[in-house]
């Protein structure tokens, strides 16, 4: 199902909450979304922690990727990511992570995105940059 540019949060949730890994396994939640923009959050639980009791990089990546999927698909033809780069800045001391995705450059076939991940203490935790391709 393709979402229009003026999709409501409820319509966005109907589509993206079918991502069972992000929503059920990783407990990602959509806060807002639109063309070229999305905010998602993850309340941290024991299942997100690695053997050193820090939040696992894969959990942070999943949250960023989920926000990217929303920002790149709402109001656009179906879009898939073709390249990512993820920088991790620090371990979080907070209880929640928030990923904010934004489109830096939109083209006919490629789009460039940045996803910033911060914690509820206001600390920058990670940044993803991605190139996505329009497949629809």
Each residue's pLDDT tens digit, 69-128: 999 999 999 999 999 999 999 999 999 999 999 999 999 899 999 999 999 999 999 999
Q: Which of 72, 62, 68 is nearest to 135 (CA)?
A: 72
Domain range annotation of the chain: 9-134
Model pLDDT, residue 6? 87
Sign of CA dihedral 1, 40, 19, 105: positive
pLDDT tens for residues 39-55?
Answer: 999 999 999 999 999 99
Dihedral (C-alpha) 89, 25, 34, 132: value to the nearest 10 degrees? 70
Domain 9-134 superfamily per CATH: Hotdog Thioesterase (3.10.129.10)
**pTM of the predicted structure, to 2 decimals:** 0.95
């Amino acid at each position: 199902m393709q979402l229009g540019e003026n999709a409501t949060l409820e319509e966005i949730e109907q589509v993206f909450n079918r991502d069972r890994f992000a929503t059920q396994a990783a407990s990602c939640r959509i806060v807002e979304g639109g063309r070229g923009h999305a905010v998602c959050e993850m309340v941290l639980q024991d299942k997100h922690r690695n053997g050193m009791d820090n939040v696992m990089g894969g959990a942070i990546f999943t949250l960023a990727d989920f926000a990217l999927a929303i920002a790149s698909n709402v109001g656009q033809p179906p879009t898939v990511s073709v390249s990512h780069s993820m920088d991790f800045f620090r371990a979080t001391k907070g209880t929640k992570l928030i990923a904010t995705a934004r489109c830096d450059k939109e083209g006919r076939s490629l789009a460039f995105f940045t996803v910033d991940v911060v914690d509820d203490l206001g600390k920058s935790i990670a940044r993803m940059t991605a190139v996505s391709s329009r497949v629809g």
